[in-house]
């Protein structure tokens, strides 16, 4: 599971394999790990001589984790921008952290579909970024998402690690927000009539 992957990845070399970041040129905010999982499977299959070696498992775990998290960060960053957020690194933030955050994001191209942006332009800007699900307890992901929070000037919220067990909370929260938005839209449309 995720905790075991994190432990292996802490020890491994994340540069061992440069796995392809999924959906880099796709103009939406969806996540996909199928290509990444296939790339990992191929690497393991083609490395039968090493697959039982701890260093190999650690390096594969670290390489997979950094690629998966870069994908999550890129997709989340794109979603933030589509949701009317603009990057703004506060002057109050430590200059080393500010420079690291800017460097990490300066090479990522933004592929924002104009139709998607127009569709979402009526929405209010987010007031926070919520990271939930089992992976939300991963310290590396938290560090990367905290960087996004710094970049957009938003607090990043996480459940306590003991509550980071599955995506049920995230799905329920998304459903509540969707229903709330639908109700607000319906009420504003009724007021206009």
pTM over the 0.85 mark: no
Alpha-helical segments (H) within 83-167: 95-106, 114-120, 139-152
Distance CA 103, CA 179 (A): 38
pLDDT of residue 59: 93
3-state secondary structure of 85: coil
Evaluate whether 67 touches 130 at the Cβ level (below 8 Å): no
pLDDT of residue 146: 93
pLDDT of residue 156: 93
Q: What is the DSSP string of 19-42?
A: PPPTTTT-SS-----HHHHHHHHH
Distance CA 11, CA 54 (A): 10
Evaluate whether 65 touches 140 at the Cβ level (below 8 Å): yes
pLDDT of residue 95: 59
Q: Which DSSP symbol is given to 161?
A: G
Model pLDDT for residues 29-72, shown as the tens digit of each residue: 778 888 888 898 889 888 877 767 888 889 999 999 999 999 88
pLDDT, mean of each 10-residue run, the chain (193 residues)? 82 89 75 86 84 86 91 87 67 55 51 46 76 86 92 89 72 80 67 57
Most distant CA atoms of the chain, gap in Å: 71
Q: Assign residue 120 a region (left: φ > 0; alpha: ψ between -120 and 50; beta: otherwise).
A: alpha
pLDDT of residue 132: 83
CA 109 to chain centre: 15
Distance CA 185, CA 107 (A): 37
3-state secondary structure of 132: coil
């Amino acid at each position: 599971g995720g905790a075991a992957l994190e432990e292996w990845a802490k020890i491994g070399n994340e540069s061992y394999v440069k796995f392809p970041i999924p959906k880099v040129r796709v103009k939406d905010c969806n996540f996909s790990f199928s290509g990444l999982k296939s790339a990992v499977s191929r690497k393991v299959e083609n490395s039968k001589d090493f697959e039982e070696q701890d260093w190999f498992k650690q390096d594969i775990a670290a390489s997979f984790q950094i690629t998966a998290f870069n994908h999550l960060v890129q997709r989340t960053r794109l979603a933030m921008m589509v949701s009317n957020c603009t990057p703004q690194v506060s002057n109050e933030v430590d200059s080393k952290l500010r420079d690291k955050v800017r460097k990490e994001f300066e090479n990522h191209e933004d592929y924002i579909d104009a139709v998607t942006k127009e569709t979402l332009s009526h929405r209010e800007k987010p007031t926070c970024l919520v990271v939930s699900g089992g992976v939300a307890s991963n310290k590396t992901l938290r560090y990367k998402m905290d960087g996004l929070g710094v970049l957009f000037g938003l607090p990043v919220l996480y459940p306590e690690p003991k509550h980071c067990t599955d995506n049920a909370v995230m799905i329920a929260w998304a459903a509540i927000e969707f229903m709330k938005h639908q109700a607000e839209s319906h009420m504003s449309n009724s007021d206009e009539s």
